[in-house]
Structure formats: C-alpha cells, structure tokens
Amino acid sequence: MATFRFDPILHPFRIENPRFCLQQLKTRPARFDYHSKLVFNKGSFCNYKRPRIHKICASSTNTAVVETSDEAADVTFKETFLLKRTQTVEGKIFVRLGRGKDEKNWQLTVGCNLPGKWILHWGVTSVDDAGSEWDQPPPEMRPLGSVPIKDYAIDTPLKKSLSAVEGETLHELQIDLQRNNSIAAIHFVLKDEETGSWFQHRGRDFKVPLSDYISEDANTVGAKKGFSIWPGSFDQITSMFVRAGESRPKVQVNSGESRVQKQYNKRLEGFYEEYSIAKQVQVHNILTVSVRKSPEEDKNFVHLETDLPGDVVVHWGVCRDSAKRWEIPAGPHPSDTNIFKEKALRTLLQPKENGHGSWGLFSLDAKHMGLLFVLKLNDNCWLNYMNRDFYVPLSSEGHSMRDASSSSGFEGSESRLAGTIEKPAEANEAVAYTDGIINEIRNLVSGISSEKGRKTKSKELHVNILQEIEKLAAEAYSIFRSAGPTFWEEATLDAETLKPPVELCSGTGSGYEILCQGFNWESHKSGKWYMELNEKAAELSSLGFTIIWFPPPTESVSPEGYMPKDLYNLNSRYGSIEDLKTLVKRFHEVGIKVLGDVVLNHRCAHYQNQNGVWNIFGGRLNWDDRAVVADDPHFQGRGNKSSGDNFHAAPNIDHSQDFVRTDLKKWLSWLRKEIGYDGWRLDFVRGFWGGYVKDYLDASEPYFAVGEYWDSLSYTYGEMDPNQDAHRQRIIDWINATNGTSGAFDVTTKGILHEALQRCEYWRLSDEKGKPPGVVGWWPSRAVTFIENHDTGSTQGHWRFPSGKEMQGYAYILTHPGTPSVFYDHIFSHYKSEISALISLRHRKKIHCRSIVEITKAEKDVYAAVIDENVAMKIGPGHYEPPSGPKNWALVVEGRDYKVWESS
C-alpha cells in the first residue's frame, strides 16, 4: 500500500483566474520494496511522462566481451531478471469553491495532477439531517458519467485536461451547485483505481460546508486550520485559509425561520486549497547475468548489465560449496572495488555510453562454485531476488539461480532482507514517522479535552476520536518495539513461579498441557475426517495428550478451511456440524479438551461490489465493505487502516469497527456454547492488533488460546544470525498486546532447532544469558513449542524439519518448559513409541510450562540440560552424561543422537 503525505499550500481565491498553476513536479528519492515474484518490465517512471521501456542487449557496444572462437558455446549461464521497486513522486491535489455565472450558481472543483485513474466518491448531507450518513446528490448536481453507489453516494471519474504548465496533465471534476437548496455539505473521498489508494481525512471523508449549521471538525475543507491525510503520514500539518477581501455582513434571523431559510442568508465565500501529495509508483527494471567459461585461463567471466538508474554498487562474494557461505575471492578485482567489513566486496558498476544503466565484468577462478551478490542503490536501498541473495552458478555442480533462491521456507521464514546490512537512515525515518504519530495523538486528545470540543462535539464523534487514538497507539507501539526483550527477567521470577498457579488462565490452561494437532493438510479429502478422528480419541488419550487442535470448522472457499466464508455454516469438508458436535463430545469423554481453529484476519465475500470486487458478505454476518480494511488495494474496503499485515488472498477484516468486533465476539461465544470448544488456535494473528484478540478472548473465556504469529528470522550472508532476540521479541510484543491472554507458537525455537540440527551447531541452543534462545527462554508459560504442523510439514512442506532428526526435536520440546505441540503425522508413524515414552516421562516428572532449565552443555556437537533437577537430556552426536552426585540417573528414552534420563 502506498504512503501519501500531504502538505497544504493555501492560496487566496481569485475568481478572475480559475485555472491554477503548478510548479515543475519533483521526483523524490526512490524507496525499494522486496518482492517474492518476478514482474513484467514496464520501464521507469519520472517527470510524469508515460514510462519508457529501455531495451538492454547483452551484446551492446560498451560491454566487455571475452573473445573466443565459438562465443555461444562458452556461455554456461544466462538469464534476465525483472526487478520491481517503488519510487515516490510528488504532485498536488486541489479543492476549489468558486462562483459560477451569478450569485446563485457556484461550482466545486476537485483535481489532481498526478497520473492515475482518479474517481471522486461523493455524497451530500442536508440542512435538516442531523445524522452523519451521506445521501446521493440530486440528479441536477451529478456530472455526466456518474455511477450510483447503493443509495448513499455516487462515483464520478475525474477528466483529463491541460494545465497552464506546459506538458502537464490535470485530472479534475467540476460539480455545479446552487445556493438556494437544502444541501448543507458535500462529502467526498478521492480514489486512485490504479493502486486502490483512498485519500481521506484520518479515515473519514473530506467535508465542504455550504451552510452555517455544519460544525467544523477535523475533516472540514476550507474552514479548519489543521489537515492531514490517511493512510500514511501522520505529520501535523498547519495551514492558513485566506478568504476573499469582502467582509461578511451580519444577518438578523427570526427565531422561527427554518434552517433552509437561514442557509439562504449565508454568504458563500470562495476558497482554493492545494495539498502536496506523494504517491508511490511501481518502477520495473531488468538485470541480465551471463557467465562465460575460458578453459585456457581456467576462469569464469561474469557479466552483469542493468538499466537501473544512477550509481549501482554490486555487494558480492563467492562460495565454494552448496552451503553458500560468503567469502572474498583472491584478486585482482574489478576497478572501483573495495572490501566491506572483511566479509564481502563492493564494486561500482560502470555507466553505459548511452547513459541508460550500467554494467560490470567479473573474472573468477574456476574453483568457485557460485557468485553471490545483492545490488545497492544508496545507503538504505537494496535489491535482491525473492528476499535472498542472487546466486549465479559457476560450475556444473551449482544450481540455477531460480532453484537456489526458492528453497523451502514458510512465508520467507529463512530469508533475510538485504536492506538490514545498514540501518541508520531507516532508523531516522522510523523516528520521524513516530513523531508524527505522537503529534496526531496529541491533536486528538486536545480535541476531546478542549472547552470548545466539549461543547460542540457529539458523543459519536468522541467515540470516533478515541478509536483513532487506539489505532495510532497500536501503530506507535509496533514501531517502538526494541530488539531487546521488554519482558523483564525480574518480573518473570515473580509471575512465573516454580509451580503453575492453581487458577486457570486463557494463555496456559493448567500449565501441564500437551497439545496434539489433530489433522494435516490432506485431512479434508476423505470428507469424513471428524468420523475418522473420533476413532482415535481413546488412543490419543492413552498416549497422554490433554488438548487437541481441530481444523477450521467453517464453510470455506479453500477445502482446508483457511478461506472462511459464512462463519455460522459449520458444514465443511471435514464433516457436518452434527459430526463436529459428536466429535467434541467424544474427546471430552476421554478427558481431552478441544481447540477450534478460528480465522479472524480475513473472510471471503459472497457478492461483488459495483466495480466487480468481492467485498460484500452474506450469511448471518452480512457485512458490507466497511468491514474491509481500506489499505488493501485488492478489495476496495471502506474501513480504516489495517492494524497489522495484510493477507492478500482474501478481504482483510477491519477489527477497529464496533459492529465487526461485536459480531465476532458473539460468534466465538456461540461456538463455545453450541459446539463445545474449550479454546482457540488463532490463525494469522500478524494481520491485526493483539488488543483486539484480548477483546475476543475476554468475551469467549477460553480455557486455552494460542496465536500463529509467524515472520522471518534474521539471516546474514546466507547464514542464520546467532542472536534471534529481535525475532522472539516480536512474538513477545504480540503476546503483550493481548495482555497475556493468549500464548503463541514459538517459531523462534523451531527455526533455531532447524539450524542447530542441520548444521551440527548445537551451541545455538543457548542464548547470551544461558537460557533457551526462543520465546520459551523469555516467557515460557506463553510459548507453544513445536517442530512441525500442517503448513511446514505434511504434503505442503513449506519449512520441513531436518529429515531424520525429528526425535531430537521432540526430545527437546517434550522435556523443556512451554506447552509442547505434537504433529498428527508424527504421532501415527514409526515415531509413536518414542513420542509416547517422552510424553509419559513429562507427566511422570510433572514438567510444566514454567519448569526451570539449567543448560549444562551447548557446544558444536551436543546440547544438554537438566530440567527441574530431576530430568536430564542431551541431543546431538557428542557425548554427555548427567552429573554424578546424590542423584541416581536412569536412562529412560534414547534414540538416534538423543538420550533422556530421570532421577530416582
């Protein structure tokens, strides 16, 4: 979603010169995004002219070429990649109210000089209408081409016209209006259909008052002194409104006059306001990479060529094997090359003779397997490939760039952003952005507390302002979160006692829970999964599971259930609602509690809007597009800005809306009562603020709740960083936002286990303070540990645990604090007996979510720990035996590269 910043430039209204003049537009420094998909080349965008396509040929005259007898035969690799980035361009929008042909006829003009497909979404309010809802304007006011939107507004496209500035194109719309009517104000928002971006006032409409009886508020145009735009920048913007020179006469009105008559006596005053607007446009460039082998010199010549503008630096290194560890090759190196922190080289590409792009030639020894690189355009802008380093194979043993760059990882979990190498500029930008949020909160608070505000603002407006403060505070919190833990150890010692509390809480249940995921990615295919799982209830109880997680129960566009449609329709691909009730009852009979998988972030629509976009819902919760966030360009929502990350496959629900939260709380409470669920597994909680989760859990009072907060761990030069505190802090932040009412899956622990076991680097399993390095090391009672689930394993295999090392993972999570979760596929496999023995030990020794871990060894080939002083364990090929002393240790479970002892 593009970010827009408005800076008003207000001018006196001049009736004799209705055409406004603009200065030459400027292009701001580009911001670059990292995308996981290649896109088609559409050229570059600058100076608001139509993008041009620069055709780049690898055999251009300024390209250094290795002369061989058969050039084509020597090319071992050649590929052209399309690069997608965003560039910020600036322009202006304007709002003008002016007199027409006489005193009774006036004209409102709204325009913009940025390219795009601009639509004015507008309506009116009447003098006698005390409410805040729009009405459609009378037919005589509607310009040609207007399209009715339900019964409250119309959409009118802006038309192109030439401005006074040579070569500049304007988009503007003129609305004719008369004074002697009952219209009190015109309301509108401006939309760019090309990007799906809406231009609003703090999530509300622009309002142009035409009557004395319209109270001024934050979104009033032509009268208010403060202005800002949503979504995007929250900078406080001051403005000055300059009225026409003629003073306004006082008019005496009898108390019995109607509001319409009073309006007739109002003297309209023209105004003209301009606002600077920054819009992000997509710019597409190409990168061509070719490799030629020279057998005579035993070298590879790598040629890079791109049409990226300006200075382009290649940040590069080589690797000798498939591990892709960066190293600096021996010289000589290309000209304009320097060493970066003894880890990589930086080479400035040479400009082409025609001025369109740059190129470089690299000579590398044949002993190297591949070339690794990222492109650096300035101190804070980097480009890589699918969130990974570009990889160019130099030998037959190397893989293709596409294969190498798309290795498995769940939603980029194992990828790193090249832009994380240097962060000063990015940090300064974040500080400036949060300063704007603070100013915005102060404004809103002042609006409530001021004497004028208490007199003029309605209760409904107060509620709206408080909701804005809530959203701004949530956004500021997400930005200010630090890389270090905010969950302090001293506080943990008081709250996390050695024994779990007697009372239950939604985040932990009893503290002794062992969770079973009761399905995999293929479970829906039989059409009777509930019946099949019913037959497993007694066996799962005998294995020692205390709680089970069922698949999503609702009608869904996708058969797996994660694209819900009608939330109250529980006839799914897994079985009928009656089958589900029977299944829940059966598990309760064997002493196992049940979690429902609820998808609250997004919902699939039943109907299309007037633009053919699916954002109108049916069923019992028949929401309209106000329930959809406004900053997802795919679904044209009229809600507020999302409080989290968007899930682009379906409309993202706006949880800031009161009616949405009310309906979801009733639905969750209905599921608890009607179906018998004991708690929730919350899908994709990264998409909305944790404070809303607290609201839902307070209403539904679950026994246990766990959220799926999943994002990328930190990698540098292809290797996982030793310190993953920033990653687990983000999960802790979300748990904090729920006020601790929900736990979260410990993705950090899973990722570190991956690296430790795969690379035989068991030292990773201890942090700098000698504690477990995942969420379980900071807030164990809220950490739900796991090694596999339906997304990472099963037939999806997005982020599969290292093959053959699964039992090492279970030996870790089933002996450590936190709440362990075991995947269905592993339970009913050859691992069953070993998993059963570990669960039995956990119950027997009363290991719980707050148990104490003493790490006794964390070396390259072995990790060992003692838990609650009566269980010892080790994983890895290295040697370890529990300490001798007063305790007698008995080996109770062992397998490939793991052992577990208990004290007697």
Query: In whole angstroms, what is the distance from residue 743 CA to residue 807 CA?
Result: 24
The full DSSP string for 601-670 is SB---SEE-TTS-EEE--SSS---GGGB-TT-TTTT--S---SS---TTSPBB-TTSHHHHHHHHHHHHH
Per mean pLDDT, which of 102-106, 200-204, 505-509, 691-695 is the most reliable?
Answer: 691-695
Q: What is the pLDDT of residue 401?
A: 46
Q: Which residues contact 99 (CB under 8 A, 6 or more apart)?
A: 15, 105, 106, 107, 268, 270
The full DSSP string for 418-432 is GGGS--HHHHHHHHH
Say if strands 226-227 and 197-199 run parallel, antiparallel, or are unpaired. Answer: unpaired
Beta strands per DSSP E along 136-213: 147-149, 153-157, 159-162, 169-178, 183-192, 197-199, 206-209
Say if strands 783-785 and 515-517 run parallel, antiparallel, or are unpaired. Answer: unpaired
Q: What is the pLDDT of residue 507?
A: 62
Q: What is the pLDDT of residue 458?
A: 57
Q: Is the pLDDT of residue 59 over 80?
A: no
Q: Is the pLDDT of residue 755 over 70?
A: yes
Q: What is the pLDDT of residue 148?
A: 87
Average pLDDT score over residue span 746-769: 96
pLDDT in tens, 686-707: 999 999 999 999 999 999 999 9
Query: In whole angstroms, what is the distance from residue 86 CA to residue 28 CA?
Result: 11
Query: In whole angstroms, what is the distance from residue 244 CA to residue 641 CA?
Result: 37
Q: What is the pLDDT of residue 14?
A: 36
Q: Is the pLDDT of residue 214 over 70?
A: no
Q: What is the pLDDT of residue 613?
A: 92
Average pLDDT score over residue span 359-370: 90
Q: What is the pLDDT of residue 407?
A: 33
Q: Give the dihedral of Cα atoms 821, 822, 825, 827; nearest 10 deg.
A: -160
Q: 825 φ, ψ to 5°?
A: -60, -30
Q: List the CATH code of the domain at 515-599+656-851.
A: 3.20.20.80
Q: What is the pLDDT of residue 207?
A: 85
CATH topology agreement for domains 89-218+268-277 and 515-599+656-851: no
Q: Is the pLDDT of residue 18 over 70?
A: no
Query: In whole angstroms, what is the distance from residue 704 CA to residue 76 CA?
Result: 57
Q: Which residues contact 131 (CB under 8 A, 6 or more apart)?
A: 125
Contact 624/659 with Cβ under 8 angstroms?
Answer: no
Q: Please give the residue that has the higher pLDDT: either 415 or 771.
A: 771
CATH of region 295-393, choose from 1.10.3470, 3.10.450, 3.40.1350, 2.60.40: 2.60.40
Domain chopping of the chain, boundaries: 89-218+268-277, 295-393, 515-599+656-851
Q: Give the dihedral of Cα atoms 482, 484, 490, 492; nearest 10 deg.
A: 80
Token pair in block for residue 480: 């200010």
Tally: H helices and E strands in the chain: 17, 40
Fold of domain 89-218+268-277? Immunoglobulin-like (2.60.40)
Query: In whole angstroms, what is the distance from residue 653 CA to residue 206 CA?
Result: 24
CA distances for 338 relative to 247, 334, 374, 419, 596, angstroms: 69, 9, 15, 19, 56
Average pLDDT score over residue span 296-300: 83
Q: What is the pLDDT of residue 224?
A: 43
**Residue type (1 letter), 176:** D
* Residue among 274, 708, 746, 767 flagged as catalytic: 708
Q: Is the pLDDT of residue 535 over 50?
A: yes
Q: What is the pLDDT of residue 576?
A: 96
Per mean pLDDT, which of 103-117, 300-314, 662-676 is the most reliable?
Answer: 662-676
Q: Please give the residue that has the higher pLDDT: either 491 or 504.
A: 504
Average pLDDT score over residue span 255-273: 55
Q: Please give the residue that has the higher pLDDT: either 188 or 30.
A: 188
* Residue among 389, 683, 761, 897 flagged as catalytic: 683
Say if strands 783-785 and 743-745 run parallel, antiparallel, or are unpaired. Answer: parallel
Q: How confident is the model at residue 178 (pLDDT cuts 50, 70, 90)?
A: confident
User: What burial class does residue 316 get, using C-beta atoms within 10 Å of its C-beta: 0-12 exposed, 13-18 middle, 19+ buried?
Assistant: buried
Average pLDDT score over residue span 86-96: 82
User: Mean of the per-residue pLDDT values for the chain?
Assistant: 78
Per mean pLDDT, which of 299-313, 492-506, 551-565 is the most reliable?
Answer: 551-565
Q: Please give the residue that has the higher pLDDT: either 691 or 283.
A: 691
Q: What is the pLDDT of residue 379?
A: 67
Answer left, alpha or beta for residue 645, where phi above 0 means left and psi between -120 and 50 means alpha: beta
Per mean pLDDT, which of 307-311, 421-425, 615-619 is the most reliable?
Answer: 615-619
Average pLDDT score over residue span 617-621: 95
Q: Is the pLDDT of residue 66 over 90?
A: no
For residue 708, indicate whether it is catalytic.
yes
Closest C-alpha among 26, 192, 19 to residue 118: 192
Q: How confident is the model at residue 760 (pLDDT cuts 50, 70, 90)?
A: very high
Query: In whole angstroms, what is the distance from residue 865 CA to residue 871 CA?
Result: 8
Q: Please give the residue that has the higher pLDDT: either 794 or 490.
A: 794
Average pLDDT score over residue span 13-22: 36
Query: In whole angstroms, what is the distance from residue 449 CA to residue 147 CA?
Result: 41
For residue 683, indicate whether it is catalytic.
yes
- Kindly provide the b/e burial profile for residues 595-617, where b requires at least 16 CB atoms within 10 angstroms of the residue's own CB: bbbbbbbbbbbeeebeeebbbbb
Q: What is the pTM of this model?
A: 0.53
Per mean pLDDT, which of 297-301, 425-429, 816-820 is the most reliable?
Answer: 816-820
Q: How confident is the model at residue 152 (pLDDT cuts 50, 70, 90)?
A: confident
